[in-house]
Each structure stands twice: as structure tokens, then as C-alpha cells.
Chain A
């Protein structure tokens, strides 16, 4: 009887040992899987950036930043004689700056004002509705934004593709981002700071310009830079609103080109393949640098 009892007890410890080994192994295997998948995820960053650099760097030269995009025929001739395609993307660069600049002029003031409104009235039901709608606007697919602005501006206002239409589309994509980042960064300001200013009898607009905006400046900057870096690469809404232009254009009611539009145009033209990668490299470099800059400002604030 005792023997039998002993036997079961031994057996049980054996079983338990076996079980705990299995648990440990499972734990290790899972950690391995987590690291493996995380590595795969970040490897895509290197794969994508790496292939853009490798394929694009040899086309980057002085002309790339000073000349407009070549026509198909010139590109074909250069390609068939084995030369670097002449010309560059200066019409795209100026166009992108124009579009993004105008979009920022529209979106930043309104975005900051609405953000401040939400911050000041955060408990009100109406503000909650505005916040929810802002979230919805942020989720609207970029191509649908393009369609809407086509119907608003291209059809009714400029009667043709235009800089104005493109900037309105881009500003619609910026607006929600700026509103939310303004509200979030104002929320981080200690109430005491605001109260101190109000106690001194400062009118509220001065509190905003002298206290709220300066204190949350780095947060606002981060939001603005992230928003700009996001719209710089937008292509789909521009296809429906500004179309593209082979030359530099500064007229606000005429079509304009943009770097992502040129990439799309080169992609559709078999003679321009070499230019795709250099334009892509340029676009990506620009966007990622803005992104990192925004991160850096945010990190410095939190430190």
C-alpha cells in the first residue's frame, strides 16, 4: 500500500517536472516567434529603403533638381544610346512645395483654432460631436477626398484641374491631424500656468498667443511636420485634382505637377523607368527626414 502511494507521488512529481519543462519550452518558442516576426516587420523598412537607394542614386545629379521632366521621346533616345536620361523633376518639386505650402496655409490656422476650441470646451456635447466627426474625416480614403474636391473645386470653382483644388484636397487630409495634435498637446499644459495668466487679468486671446501656443509649440510643430510629411507623398487625390503639368506653374487656377504625380507618370511610361527610382528616392528621403525631425522634436520635449 505504502509502496503504491509512493509510486503515485513519484509519478506525480515526474509529471509536474515534465509539465514545467514543457511550459518553459513553450515560453521560449513563443519568444523566438515574437522576435522572428518583429524582425521580419522591420526588415521591410530596410528592403524598401535599400532598393530605392540602390536603384535611384545614379540618376541624382544637378540637372535632376534644375530641369523639368523630359518628354517620352528624349527619354527614349537617351535610353537607347545607353545614357542617363536628361532632365529632372524641378516641375514636380516646385509643384509639391506650392501645393503643400498652400494646403498648410489653409489647414494650420483652422486646425489650430478648432483644436483650441475642442481643448477649451472638452466637456461639451457639441465638442464631442466635432471630435468624432474629425476622426471620421481622418479615416476618409484619400481617393474619396480627391473625388469630393473634384466635385467641389474643379467642377464649380476653377472649371479645370488646378493648384487650388489640389491644395484644398491636401488641406482636408491635414486638418484632422492638426486638430487632434493641437488638442492633445494643449491638454499636456498644466492648468496652473493658464490660471496664473488669467489671474493677472490677461485677456483670453493673449493667454492663447502668449501662454498656450508657446508652451505647446513643440507639440504643435510635431503635429504639423507629421501632417506635412503625410500629404507630401499623397498621389491619389492629386490625380483627381491637379492632374500634372510638364512645366513649372505658379498660377493658382492652372494645373501643376508634384513629385508623387511625376512618379506615377514615369511608372506609366516605359521609357522613363530610370527616373522613377531617383524621384522615389528623393520623395522618400524628404518624407522620412520630416518624419524623423518630428520624432526628434517630440522626444526632446518629453526628455
Chain B
């Protein structure tokens, strides 16, 4: 066998690793959650009772699913104007200027800061601030974690949006300008219609990020096992409950935590697949 053939086989074998990893991931999660699934069946998703007391163990994931969705949706709503403005700033108003490269470097740094540092900053700086302006007595809850998540996902939403905004052909913009359109009208009538699928995909992918964030949320959501009732209500999220209870869990509780992990895996994968699908169709 000549060296080219060997190389081809080596590369192909390496690519099999990806299949192996993904298969192994699904298998491990499914096998790990079997115990819980046999016990609770589909009720696991619709029940919000989480009681680890020995003898009357009862687990349901609804309240965690709600907590994860509420914080992530809030994060998306808060991040939307920020990311949209920043991407217009970088890719349209100040495109190719020094100013734009400084701003985009700073936004990228925001993406580089580890999750636990966001959590600490939220806990020691943001939470006392929220208490001091009287929004909530303790400062924990959906709002605080949503706000921190928003800051965390802004860079993800911004970078892809700016890339698509930059791709809008100059001829189209110039045609609109030559008809006397203002900058805002060009953005609204030319850039947005052309870049909307990329912008939408960037928010969907950012949303997927927010769903899986763990420690920043764990430190701020309040870790109360209730379905959140309002913006300043405490709650718990899927990733947080795994992080908090994993250490002392075994048996049925461990299996239920793994099932929550499986659900989180499925939800984030679906969201990401939708985002990537939109990008693919665009290209």
C-alpha cells in the first residue's frame, strides 16, 4: 500500500472519531437516564415536583425547563438592542475605521471572559446594585440572571450579525442613497431585508448559548425549586440543578439529573440546528 492510501485511511479513521463521540454521548445520556425514565416516564417533563427526600423521592423537570427558558428568553430580549446596535456600529456606521476595530476587539474580549467570572461579577457587583435601586429585596432571580446572560451572549449575536451586515452589496446601498434615502432608511429598507436571515440566525445561536450557561446562572437565579412567577421571582435552571445537586446525588436522583442533561442536550441541539440551517440556506 502506498503512502497516499495510508494517509487517506488515517484521515478517514480520524473522522470516524466524531461519529464515535456523538454516538457515545447520546448512548451515555440515554443509558444514564433509563432508571429515571422507567420510574417517571413522560411525567418527568410535565411534573414540577423535585423532592430528594429518601423514601418518597419524586422528580420532575418542568420547573427547571421553565427557569432555563425564562432566563434565556429574557437574555435574548435584553441583548437584542445591544447586539443590533453594536453590529450596526461596527459593520455599517463605522465600518473599516479604527473605532470599529477597537469596539469589535472589546466585544470579542467580552466573549473571552469565563462564565464563572460573569457569575462573580453578577453576584458581588450587579446583585447589590439591583438591591440598592430597589428592584428586588435579595437581588437573586430571573431578572438578574437574564441580565448577566444577556451580557454573555451579546458578543455571539454581534459577531455573526456584523458579518452578514458587511456582506450586503454596496451597489444596493448606493442605489438607495442616490434616491435620496437617509442612512436609517438604507438600514431599514436595504440592509435589514438583505441581512435578516443572518441576523436571525445569530440571535438563535446566541439563544442556544444562553440555554446551556451554568455557573453564572447558578450564582444568581436563587436556586429555589419553584416555577418562576415573575421577572424578579427566583427559580432554578436545568444546568444549575445539575451543578448544584450532582455532588451528593446517587441512584434515582443522579439518573434524574442525567435525564435533565439529556433534555438540555436535545433542546440546545435543536436550537443550534435551526440556526445553522438558516445560515446554510443563506450561503
Q: Which residues of A contact B (CB under 8 A)?
A: 23-24, 26-27, 30-31, 33-38, 40-42, 44-45, 47-48, 51-52, 55, 110, 113-114, 116-118, 120, 126-127, 130, 132-137, 139-144, 147-148, 150-152, 172, 175, 179, 203-205, 208, 229-230, 232-236, 239-240, 260, 263-264, 267, 276-277, 280, 283-284, 287-288, 291-292, 295
> What is the bound-complex CA distance between A52 and B117, given in angstroms?
9
Residues of A within 8 A of B83 (CB): 41
Would B182 and A42 count as touching, CB distance under 8 A? no
> What is the bound-complex CA distance between A292 and B106, given in angstroms?
10
Would B7 and A205 count as touching, CB distance under 8 A? yes
Secondary structure call for the B interface: helix
B97 in the interface (beta carbon within 8 A):
no
| Chain B, 78-110, CB within 8 A of any chain A CB | 81-86, 88-90, 93, 103, 105-110
A38-B85, A130-B19 are known contacts. Are A263 and B116 too (CB-CB below 8 A)? yes
Would B105 and A284 count as touching, CB distance under 8 A? no
Q: In the complex, what residue of chain B is closest to A138 when comparing beta carbons?
A: B272
Residues of A within 8 A of B22 (CB): 133, 136-137
Would B29 and A233 count as touching, CB distance under 8 A? no
Binds A, one of B191-199, B228-236, B261-269: B261-269
Would B215 and A235 count as touching, CB distance under 8 A? yes
Residues of A within 8 A of B271 (CB): 139
Q: In the complex, what residue of chain B is closest to A37 when comparing beta carbons?
A: B85
Give how many A-B residue pairs fall within 8 Å (CB-CB).
235
Would A34 and B15 count as touching, CB distance under 8 A? no
Q: How far in angstroms is the closest Cβ of chain B from A237?
A: 9
B136 in the interface (beta carbon within 8 A):
no
B172 in the interface (beta carbon within 8 A):
no
Would A114 and B110 count as touching, CB distance under 8 A? no
* Contact with B110, one of A45, A144, A229, A236 (Cβ below 8 angstroms): A45
| Chain B, 21-38, CB within 8 A of any chain A CB | 21-22, 24-25, 28-29, 31-32
Assuming A135-B276, A141-B211, A235-B214, what are 4 further A-B pairs, CB within 8 angstroms?
A24-B182, A44-B151, A52-B121, A151-B32
> What is the bound-complex CA distance between A133 and B21, given in angstroms?
10
Q: In the complex, what residue of chain A is closest to B239 when comparing beta carbons?
A: A143
A143-B212, A148-B29, A172-B21 are known contacts. Are A44 and B110 too (CB-CB below 8 A)? yes
* Contact with B112, one of A120, A235, A263, A287 (Cβ below 8 angstroms): A287
Would A235 and B114 count as touching, CB distance under 8 A? yes
B17 in the interface (beta carbon within 8 A):
yes
Would A37 and B242 count as touching, CB distance under 8 A? no
Would B213 and A284 count as touching, CB distance under 8 A? no
